[in-house]
Chain A
Amino acid sequence: MAVIAERAIATDVPREASFNYLVVRYWLTALAAFFVAAVIGLVLRWNQASGFLSLAWHYRLQTFHGAYMAWFAIASVAGFVWLLIRKQFEIVVPRARMELVYWLLLAGAGLFGFGVLIGGFAPGFPILPPLPLNPAGAWAAWAVNVSLSGMVLIVVATIAYLLEWLVAAHRAAGGLGQALGLSVFLPRGANPGGRTVPPYVLAVTAMALIGMYALPVGAYLVANILLKNNFPAVPLDPLFAKNMLWAFAHTLVNILYWGTFGIVYLLIPVITDREWKLYRLLVILWLVTIVTTGMTAMGHHLQLDPVPFSIVVIGQVGSYLSIMSWAAVSIYGAVERIWKSGITWEPKVSFLYFGMFMVLVGMAGAYLDAGPGFNTILHNTLWVPAHFHSYMMLGMALFIFACMYHYVPLLTRKTDDSTALPRVHFWMTAIGGVGLVGSFYLAGLLGTPRRMAAYPLDALPALAGLVTQASVPFALVLALAQAIPLFYLTRMLVRRA
């Protein structure tokens, strides 16, 4: 099933135009959110360099920026999941359910944004309790209710589409064990039909499975904060809440990355014309990733907290093991297939290739940060946004762009022979992104705290101020570049076939 299925899925989309346009609508909405959040990111960096925003607006925009970037990934992956369910499993999800998820996501984003922009809700993203409840007068209780209700809607919608995948995978692949690739451990001849799923099915199934743990944890935490916001007698322990927050937020970001790596697993074999099957080492490391990401990787967020020392060590080892499968087999496997493949370096390939490189860069940053001896001087500095911007903004987002540039012409049945705009998009994103992220890494080493409207430069080396100012032009290039896919894909939608 592997390579034939990949070819069919990657080159032959459903004939039902309304379904195809629904997928495109998910992606275009996500792109719009990404563009807005990128421009806000630029404003934040600019403000840190020159200070023109009020404190209230800086921290509102900071909260908005983080939340909408996460929303971009959630909505993009949703579109990808709908497409895969239809193509891989040939299962038709009722249109009403896909529309419901879309509108729930949109309503959630709207409510969250309203609470932030109008209500002044600015606890940063994610929302570390008990700050949402103790704003020192900066926002009203109603803003907490509105924004967190929006978060609940987003969490519910995400659970819904991941459940759709799990049900479809269970039915079509012959059980979740099969969908996780466990058949590779069966003796020869014991596997019914002798089939194993392709790696992208494993990646998306893993995402959905761990999502069923992380998202309810998030829903519980948000509900706890909401309840305490309205009934102060409701208990909320700060340490327990912090555990819950990272079990939710860190895991959610990780699994969304798995979903987008499904794009790499899907497109690389087709682009290079080389099969990518599951094999035992890949599945073993995937299982290690699933267990460690789900259970222990968030432990590095607790290394500076009043927790038993064993938790500190478990957090370190769990974090290291959670990224093993990416460095050892996944990205390695993709790069291996590109060697002597005669590949055409079109923009979508550049996005995939550079994205994988930046994921490894981010992982090197994460590796250093997750050791408690280093964590104590890197945590809460700009090193942290440096590493997650590396593998989200310059990894996950780039995989999504590659997916859109590949599929939107197919889904809309319209072609654009010119690759000039995607190419400009790639180079502006790469140059702006590396400059910005590089400034974050350096500033982090210089001890510059993250999430500050203005930096305490009299306490830090003078270089910290120069780094901040030098990064603004890169942020400008990066933000402007994100208008390109929006323009390109919208133009494709409205032009005649």
Chain B
Amino acid sequence: MRRGGGFALAAVIALAAPAMAQNQGAGADAAVTRGRMLFEEKCTTCHTLGSGDFLGPDLAGVADRRPREWLLRFIVEPDRVLAEGDPVALELLKKYSDLEMPNLKVTLEEAEAALAYIATGGAAAGAAAAPSVPPASAPGAPAAVEPLGPQWRMSTQVYIGLLFLAAVILTAAAFLVVYKGSQPRAEYEKFERVFDTIQRYWTASLVIATLLFTVALLPLVPFPPVRAATEETQVVKVEALQFGWNMEPRTVKVGTPVEFRVTGRDVNHSFGLVDPHGVLLFQVQAMPRYVKEAVYTFDEPGTYHVLCMEYCGLAHHVMRTTVQVVR
């Protein structure tokens, strides 16, 4: 099984986004264009169009291999088709590592549009190409972001790293001093009182540090009540599911707070937002039956990656999408 191709595909999709917008409303091609957008949004996590099998089968020519009615029903309600024991669906399940096709809440109309696009073999778009690059984690895989851009030097992660490094160096220095000072033996009573005094101050300083740290870190929390929606807030509804994202809208503006209302459909996921420089901005849990809000104000346009940060099943690592941030 090839893995990681979905990552490269997501990058290709991101680059193709402006072109996709221009194609909208092109008369007879409208259904195909809509199908292409749907395909790229919901299908490319697992399928390619002409570049071979991925987590699921290559869908090039699938309209010739399967009856149209069967395809439409399987796209709309794959869970029920499988539950009914459909032999073709079961055979596919067995062939593709027992990864069940999830119910992506696709309507019949949307399924028809997707099939219309698939029938073009991807020619209408070209961009829905397939992962032809090596797996993202393989040596030599292309990185779409700079090694450590200017944004990185200013990120919270750097401050965390410095705090941690300081703690490790101080601890290591103390342990080295004691290691060197372990010889020769001296009477314990000589310095027992000094050690007791140090211990009291050390304990008190840890308690004070705890209180200060608790207060100091709270303003960084990305969700209510620390950050809450206002009247002008843009709302993005996010639903995580094995192994994709339903998100509406997918384009937001810089400078205005965005409230992400995140939930899950099947199991626990985590909505992690990564900026164009590769900095993880925040994450919140995507849990079935519950909604978690996170508020963030973008100050830079670009393509932001959404990663699932909570292990959710075998295709967890390809559960990705993007958010476009525009001026």
Contacts and interface: CB of A to CB of B under 8 A. Distances in A.
Contacts of A304: 270, 283-285, 292
A67 interface: no
Interface in A10-61: 48-51, 54-56, 59
A138 B1 CA distance: 15
B197 to A, nearest CB: 12
A343 B274 CA distance: 51
Nearest to B274: A459
A310 to B, nearest CB: 10
Contacts of B4: 51, 454
Nearest to B204: A328
B139 interface: yes
Given A51-B4, A122-B314, A274 B137 contact: no
B312 interface: yes
A306 B291 contact: yes
Contacts of B290: 238-239, 305-306
Interface in A281-320: 281, 285, 304-306, 309, 312-313, 316-317, 320
Most buried by A among B137, B152, B181, B190: B137
B28 interface: no
A458 B144 contact: yes
B3 A313 contact: no
B135 A452 contact: no
Contacts of A229: none
Given A238-B288, A338-B178, A465 B137 contact: yes
B200 A364 contact: no
A336 B283 contact: no
Contacts of A136: 99-100, 102, 242-243, 266, 313-315
A303 B202 CA distance: 28
Interface string A64-76: 0000000000000
Interface residues of B, number: 109
Contact of A130 (B158, B288, B308): B288
A381 B144 CA distance: 20
A422 interface: no
B154 to A, nearest CB: 14
A457 B7 contact: yes
A372 B218 contact: yes
Interface stretch (A147-155, A189-197, A353-361): A353-361
B161 A459 contact: no
A339 interface: yes
Interface residues of A, number: 97
B66 interface: no
Most buried by A among B148, B220, B272: B272
Nearest to B192: A336
Interface string A346-357: 000000010011
B172 interface: yes
B284 A364 contact: no
A455 B264 CA distance: 22
A170 to B, nearest CB: 30
A309 B225 contact: yes
A377 B156 contact: yes
A433 B93 CA distance: 40
Contacts of A446: 157, 278
A377 B282 contact: yes
Contacts of B214: 313, 316-317, 320, 371
Nearest to B11: A458
A239 B289 CA distance: 9
A138 B199 contact: no
A120 B98 contact: yes
A172 interface: no
Interface in B169-204: 171-172, 174-175, 178-179, 181-186, 188, 190-191, 195, 199-200, 202-203
A468 B191 CA distance: 46
A326 to B, nearest CB: 10
Contacts of B278: 446-447, 459-461, 464
A327 B203 CA distance: 8
A167 interface: no
B303 to A, nearest CB: 10
18 contacts: A50-B137, A55-B3, A135-B313, A136-B99, A304-B270, A317-B214, A335-B175, A340-B183, A361-B171, A368-B164, A376-B222, A379-B283, A449-B307, A449-B309, A455-B137, A456-B136, A458-B7, A463-B147
What 5 A-B pairs are tightest by C-beta distance, nearest first?
A373-B220, A342-B185, A447-B280, A137-B100, A373-B217
Interface of B: 1, 3-4, 7-8, 10-11, 82, 93, 97-100, 102, 135-139, 141-149, 152, 156-158, 160-161, 163-164, 167-168, 171-172, 174-175, 178-179, 181-186, 188, 190-191, 195, 199-200, 202-203, 206-207, 210, 213-214, 217-222, 224-226, 242-243, 264, 266-268, 270, 272, 274, 277-285, 287-292, 305, 307-317, 320
Given A309-B224, A452-B316, 11 more contacts: A274-B188, A340-B184, A340-B186, A340-B191, A345-B182, A372-B220, A373-B218, A460-B274, A461-B148, A462-B146, A465-B139
